[in-house]
Structure 1
Amino acid sequence: MADFNTVALEEATSADAPLLSNLLELYIHDLSDVFPGLHLGPDGRFGYDKLPLYWSERERRFAFVIRYDGRVAGFVLATRGSPAADNPDVLDVAEFFVLRRYRRSGVGRRAAVLLWQRFPGEWTVRVSEGNAGALAFWRGVVTELTGGAATETTRPGRPHPWRVFSFESAPERITP
């Protein structure tokens, strides 16, 4: 199990764009098993066209690098506003990635805690039902960290329906 004191959620800057772009390639490659419509471009990359928006829309988009013991362990992209909620101010976990070597060690759980502590308020987490590992992770983390005070709904999606977890992150409820 990871030592929680060595997991950090560092705000990314535009100087981190190449790092995040590389990590996004690994992330999207993993997701290509779940979403068969994801294909490499002619340059051999999947690409992520929304990444520049994290530097130009800083009031609505938040990018972070997850570090474990000082080493890059993944990333988080969060937004204000969610395709799964009517409230334009709800916070949304847009993308969340932990390198395979750090999965099931507590690094992802700790990164989620740090994110929700940084931005208390109303949150949504959307997970494709085709992504069984991510669904189990988010169901467990959200339930544990909110004391069961989250709602779980299903929304249509392609190629799989989406699970949407909605909850309020309050500092007194979120435990390390």
Structure 2
Amino acid sequence: MADSNTTALDEATSSDALLLSNLLELYIHDLSDVFPGIEPGADGRFGYDKLPLYWSERERRFAFIIRCAGRIAGFVLATRGSPAAEDPDVLDIAEFFVLRRYRRSGVGRRAAVLLWQRLPGKWTVRVSEGNAGALAFWRGVVSEFTNGAATDTTRPGHPSPWRVFSFESAPEHVTR
């Protein structure tokens, strides 16, 4: 079992682009179970067109590698600006992925907290209600991080509505 206390959130650089691209394939493959319209291209890859923007728009896009005991455990892509908020400065978790080996071990929970501490401000977390596992994860980790102070709204979406959690993190925010 992974030890969440050894979880680190390392800032990704352009030299990590291939690593992130490979992890994104696993992530998008997982999402294809929730979103039936996701199909691989003719080359067998799903692709992620926005990945190069994380190197060219560093003031608005933030890429991180999740590590557990020094091993790759997943990634986080965050943006300034969210499709679920009018405020252009709100922070948004665009993509969040933990390798199956590290799920349900506290690694994802710890990575989320590390992210919110590293980038303090107003946050949105969007999750499809059709993604039951992710919805339970985010509901729990956001509630724990905010001591139940987050707002929880629903937005229309296809094939399922979206749940949007909104809250603010501060640099001095400490969790157990």
For normalisation by structure 1, the TM-score amounts to 0.97
CA contact (8 A) 1:122 1:168 kept: yes
Aligned residues: 176
How far apart in 1 are the matches of 2:27 and 2:118?
23
Alignment partner, residue 35 of structure 1: 35
One-letter identity of the residue aligned with 2:44: G
The corresponding residue for 2:163 is: 163
* 1:170 to partner: Cα distance: 2.0
Q: 1:113 aligns to what?
A: 113
Identify the residue that residue 71 of structure 1 maps to in structure 2. Answer: 71
Q: 5 Å matches for 1:10-89?
A: 10-89=10-89
**What root-mean-square deviation, in Å, do the aligned CA atoms of Structure 1 and Structure 2 show?**
1.0
Q: CA deviation at 1:174?
A: 3.9
Q: Write the distance in 2 (CA, Å) between the matches of 1:99 and 1:90.
A: 27
Whether the 8 Å contact between 1:146 and 1:174 is mirrored in structure 2 is no
Hey, what does 1:144 align to over in structure 2? Answer: 144
Please list the CA deviations of residues 28-69 of structure 1 after superposition, one character each: whole Å capped at 9, or x if unmatched. 000001100100100000000000000000000000000000
Equivalent residue letter for 2:120: P
Gaps of 5+ in 2: none
Partner of 2:102: 102
SS, match of residue 124 in structure 1: strand
TM-fit CA distance, 1:172: 4.1
Q: Which residue of structure 2 aligns with residue 124 of structure 1?
A: 124
Q: Structure 1 vs Structure 2: percent identity of aligned residues?
A: 85
Which AA in structure 2 matches 1:117?
Answer: Q
| Cα separation, partners in 2 of 1:149 and 1:172, compared to 1, 3 Å | farther
CA distance in structure 1 between the aligned counterparts of 2:34 and 2:49, rounded to whole angstroms: 20
